[in-house]
Structure 1
Amino acid sequence: MLSLLVSEQIRQADAFTIANEPVSSVDLMERASKAFVGWFINHFPDKQTAISFYCGTGNNGGDGLAIARLLKEHHYKNINIKIARFSDKASADFNINLSRLKQTEIALSEIQKNDELPEENATIIIDALLGSGLNKPLTGDYERLVNHINSLNKTIVAVDVPTGFFSEGEVQADAVAIKADLVITFQQPKINFLLPESGPYIRCWEAVNIGINEQFIQSLNSPYQFIGEKDIRGILKPRHHFSNKGTYGHALIIAGQAQTMGAALLSAAAAAHAGAGLTTACVPESGLTALNSYLPEIMAIVRSENKIPDIEWDKFSAIAVGPGLGKSKDAAILLLTLVKRHKNPLVIDADALNLLAADKILLQKLPAGSILTPHMKEFDRLFGAHKNWWTRLQTGMQRAREYNIYIVLKNDYTITISPEGKCYFNSTSNPAMASGGMGDVLTGVIAALLAQKYSPLDACLAGVYIHGKAGDELALPNRLNVVLPGKLTSQLPVTMAKLMA
């Protein structure tokens, strides 16, 4: 897993690398700039393109100066640099790179405080004004310059972090920051890149390795982790000869009502396709024909109105509840009965989350290790209103620890929050998956993995990754704008087989 660091930890990791590699700070800056340039020239190969650098006088500006010099060495013809001299301070590495730059023929100018801002004819703007570590909103000349750059309608590439955007912490809705088409960031994504507040400021990002000491990074024990394919390959368990349906568990999906049987069908189908040896759906009597027609492999327990079915709870390896269940009195009694009688971890989604939000005492009685899968609004109903995603993370860590549960907070980079206070960001999925029913499929996948005796944490991490990866395999090669949940369920075993190969 890739540990994601806050700004202070990044500085510690840089300092450790400098001291123990050993390497000078300006040489580490050169290495970072070369990594940036290596990615840049492969994606912007036209060496006649006019490129304008806006550099501050700190280390981010020093990166910008080094990148400009290196691009010149790669025969980019039309480069100019504008240095924002808004104070008398400059870092030592900035000054070294400025001295090196002056040995080239790159055009260089300065913007002083209160200067009229220059016209801009370049096609690409490189933002190297301010890097990570910013902890207060932009004001004065920086605010004015950033607003000016955003107004130019140019392709903007930011070095490490867009100027004005916080690497971590609360991002205000009206924050003044560079709106970058691309961020080429060093070593790892910054935590706020993975939260929705980054949307207006970062169209896409790419992390380039600059050789920071990985052992030291891991020793910092960051609560924030980024999950990749290698991690999931290490979790998944291939099927073996002489196994049978009993080997892979029995999943029960309690879901659906007359008007929302689709949610039950998708969730149960996902459980079957994700490998549960047996899948049973507890559905209303009116949905039985639909269930049998949709996937005859799924067994049924029929719910009658005003009557809780007699269920042998202990015969199921995993139970998921909520998709399309409704919020009726009967649904509430069914959920209460389940929580009282089943002592193994539950997967709780959709309407069952809203029932929990209305009964906080029941929330406190969930079996240890249960998995809640809310989207943003469901999370806020459960745990209170939040103004931003950073505070949701902090609340999620607190509540997961308090209730001994896992919270799968759905998002572009869906976040699994563990009782140990860790936040695991998923690296798969795409906008084509923004379609009703996708959450129901995810619930079924996680339930199937629980049924197969994966730990709750592994079921969350692998379930979320596989779900997103299946969507990627459908959408990206085929350039699909929309992936429907029903199609994704059929892709699940294909995706899992590839990961287990």
Structure 2
Amino acid sequence: MKIFSAAQIKNGDLFTIKNEPIASVHLMEKAAMACTDFIHHKYLKTQNILIFCGNGNNGGDGFAMARLLYQKGFDVDVFIDKSKKGFSKDAEINYHRLKEFLGIRILDFTDFNEGFINEDSIIVDALFGTGLNRKIEGEIAKIILKLNPIHVHKIAIDIPSGVFADENIPENAVVFKADETLSLQFCKQSFLHPEISEYCGKIHILEIGISKKYIENTETPHYIIDEEIVRKIYKKRKDTSHKGNYGKTCIVAGCFGKIGAAVLATKSALFSGSGLTYILAPKCGYEILQTTCPEAMYLYGGEDFIKNFTVENDFTYGIGPGLGTDYETEEKLMHFLKNYNEPLVLDADALNLISKNSENLNLIPKNSIITPHPKEFSRLFGESKDSFERLELAKSKAKELGIYIVLKGHHTQIITPEGNVFYNITGNSGLAKGGSGDVLLGIITSFLAQGYSPENAAIFGVWLHGKAADFTAEKHSKEAMLASDVIQHIGEVFKYLQK
């Protein structure tokens, strides 16, 4: 799914109006109908709805919704800033249509008090849309500050007022805090960043009839990983294949006290379809790994296993989980990277070792995949003030180094050397536990070994990891689920894709 900027969204409206053709006021009506149908199907008609409208097209959506909801049997009150004169053209049309309905009160923001609220009330934010490019001030800021603490259900139309579509909100900005956001046609990029998602609540993308031709022909560097993308990437296993068709995965992981990381990475590689799977780990992990991962082959490394870390050109390496960061490990890893030129996957302690010297970054083979969480990313590339700045830095570094960066987080981002960004929306907070990253490394390394391109291995791996976590949470809960449980649900995801 493409993610468009605020400017592109506006152009999409204009293109649709010109080429469908459809009058702008009719497009506004379609948006209002989509939002009305959502509320009508989800909530009881006995609930009263308070719609707060601005003077622009977002307010016009709110005026049209008020009329349509009233016709469906809801009790509706509309609040506006009567001190501000003039509406946008289409908002003006819908405002006058609304005034014809005597059963709908049109009140000033200053008239609002908690006497309008009961336990079944719904507050609707139709104050500002995606065109906002400044802090909210004045009467609208006052009303938002009055609404936010009220404990009833709140719905934002298209975007919570105060949120920008493409960037972070300014410091100390006033922002409407929604329980649900009814985003019209497109998901906004900012929704996928942690600083903004807390204001959006649950996001619903509502189809309003923007031109399919415009969507198909308009280019963007930003995407959501949806099932359409994943199904194009996924390569179904052929019945005539053998283990040699699915690559040789080598997991380099573990040190005393952290053999569990090696187990998780190895098991997830096995469950993800690796043809032959090897483990390079210290002697203290031998019995554990051979017992827990009998399908994998243990490469005996002795006490100082890292000394036996040699280049095998037909292996695809996943390096880092629980590896340790001592000097000898650092020395051997850097020697390996100097002599290895194929794409590989680096995570955890491998990234921590590389971050000790900025020159080490140039040792990462081209087209490799690194999977840092925000702190690991900062150690590698420097601090960022927020996730938006971190993403821009990641784009710069991915291009400079010719690598793929899997920037782990609330909505993990895959950044390509070409500057494309793929946001993942599978997964849940149950993954916020030790071991989850080890599982992800094993999955991505396995896909890379099986012949998926680095870009597709990263995209598919992150999506599958999150989808398996969603199945896991359904069974065990977010609180109780473990990283090892996620591995056990990988098979369910493949079965889901094969339906």
TM, length-normalised to structure 2: 0.96
Equivalent residue for 1:452?
450
Question: C-alpha offsets along residues 277-299 of structure 1, whole Å, 9 cap, x if unaligned?
Answer: 11111111111111112111111
Higher alpha-carbon deviation: 340-349 or 115-124: 115-124
Equivalent residue for 1:103?
100
Alignment of 1:276-295 (within 5 A): 276-295=274-293
Whole-Å Cα distance in 1 between the matches of residues 24 and 4 of structure 2?
19
Please report how far the alpha carbon of residue 307 of structure 1 lies from its aligned counterpart in structure 2 after TM superposition: 6.1
Please report how far the alpha carbon of residue 308 of structure 1 lies from its aligned counterpart in structure 2 after TM superposition: 3.7
Equivalent residue for 1:121?
117
CA RMSD of aligned residues (A): 1.7
Please report how far the alpha carbon of residue 478 of structure 1 lies from its aligned counterpart in structure 2 after TM superposition: 6.0
1:158 is aligned, of 156, 164, 167, to 156
Higher alpha-carbon deviation: 181-190 or 133-142: 133-142
Please report how far the alpha carbon of residue 477 of structure 1 lies from its aligned counterpart in structure 2 after TM superposition: 6.0
Letter in 1 for 2:35: F
Corresponding residue SS for 1:251:
strand
Equivalent residue for 2:240?
242
Equivalent residue for 1:26?
25
Q: Tell me if the contact between 1:434 and 1:482 (Cα under 8 Å) persists in the aligned partners.
A: no
Equivalent residue for 1:314?
312
Letter in 1 for 2:79: K
Q: Tell me if the contact between 1:187 and 1:207 (Cα under 8 Å) persists in the aligned partners.
A: yes
Corresponding residue SS for 1:442:
helix
Are 1:81 and 2:78 counterparts? yes
Are 1:252 and 2:247 counterparts? no
Alignment of 1:131-170 (within 5 A): 131-170=129-168
Please report how far the alpha carbon of residue 86 of structure 1 lies from its aligned counterpart in structure 2 after TM superposition: 4.8
Q: Tell me if the contact between 2:431 and 2:469 (Cα under 8 Å) persists in the aligned partners.
A: yes
Whole-Å Cα distance in 2 between the matches of residues 494 and 128 of structure 1?
41
Whole-Å Cα distance in 1 between the matches of residues 170 and 316 of structure 2?
41
Q: Tell me if the contact between 1:245 and 1:278 (Cα under 8 Å) persists in the aligned partners.
A: yes
Q: Tell me if the contact between 1:57 and 1:85 (Cα under 8 Å) persists in the aligned partners.
A: no
Q: Tell me if the contact between 2:77 and 2:107 (Cα under 8 Å) persists in the aligned partners.
A: no
Please report how far the alpha carbon of residue 309 of structure 1 lies from its aligned counterpart in structure 2 after TM superposition: 3.4
What percentage of residue pairs aligned between the two structures are identical?
Answer: 36
Whole-Å Cα distance in 2 between the matches of residues 224 and 332 of structure 1?
36
Question: C-alpha offsets along residues 346-400 of structure 1, whole Å, 9 cap, x if unaligned?
Answer: 1010111111222221212211101010111111221211111111111111111
Please report how far the alpha carbon of residue 142 of structure 1 lies from its aligned counterpart in structure 2 after TM superposition: 2.1
Aligned pairs, number: 496
Corresponding residue SS for 1:3:
coil
Please report how far the alpha carbon of residue 5 of structure 1 lies from its aligned counterpart in structure 2 after TM superposition: 0.9
Whole-Å Cα distance in 1 between the matches of residues 253 and 477 of structure 2?
33
Whole-Å Cα distance in 2 between the matches of residues 348 and 182 of structure 1?
37
Corresponding residue SS for 1:68:
helix
Q: Tell me if the contact between 1:53 and 1:64 (Cα under 8 Å) persists in the aligned partners.
A: yes
Whole-Å Cα distance in 2 between the matches of residues 142 and 295 of structure 1?
60
Question: C-alpha offsets along residues 60-111 of structure 1, whole Å, 9 cap, x if unaligned?
Answer: 00001111111112122x2111112353231011110011111213433343
Whole-Å Cα distance in 2 between the matches of residues 309 and 279 of structure 1?
20
Question: C-alpha offsets along residues 391-436 of structure 1, whole Å, 9 cap, x if unaligned?
Answer: 1111111111111000001122211000110010112111222221
Structure 1 residues 86 and 415, CA gap change in structure 2 (3 angstroms): farther
Corresponding residue SS for 1:82:
strand
Unaligned runs of 5+ in 1: none
Please report how far the alpha carbon of residue 49 of structure 1 lies from its aligned counterpart in structure 2 after TM superposition: 0.6
Whole-Å Cα distance in 2 between the matches of residues 117 and 52 of structure 1?
10
Letter in 1 for 2:428: N
Corresponding residue SS for 2:423:
strand
Please report how far the alpha carbon of residue 54 of structure 1 lies from its aligned counterpart in structure 2 after TM superposition: 0.6
Please report how far the alpha carbon of residue 497 of structure 1 lies from its aligned counterpart in structure 2 after TM superposition: 3.0
Equivalent residue for 2:38?
39
Q: Tell me if the contact between 2:411 and 2:423 (Cα under 8 Å) persists in the aligned partners.
A: yes
Q: Tell me if the contact between 1:180 and 1:201 (Cα under 8 Å) persists in the aligned partners.
A: yes
Equivalent residue for 1:497?
495
Whole-Å Cα distance in 2 between the matches of residues 431 and 281 of structure 1?
29
Are 1:189 and 2:184 counterparts? no
Whole-Å Cα distance in 2 between the matches of residues 148 and 457 of structure 1?
47
Please report how far the alpha carbon of residue 337 of structure 1 lies from its aligned counterpart in structure 2 after TM superposition: 2.3
Corresponding residue SS for 2:354:
helix
Whole-Å Cα distance in 2 between the matches of residues 197 and 420 of structure 1?
26
1:405 is aligned, of 380, 403, 411, to 403
Unaligned runs of 5+ in 2: none
Whole-Å Cα distance in 1 between the matches of residues 305 and 287 of structure 2?
20
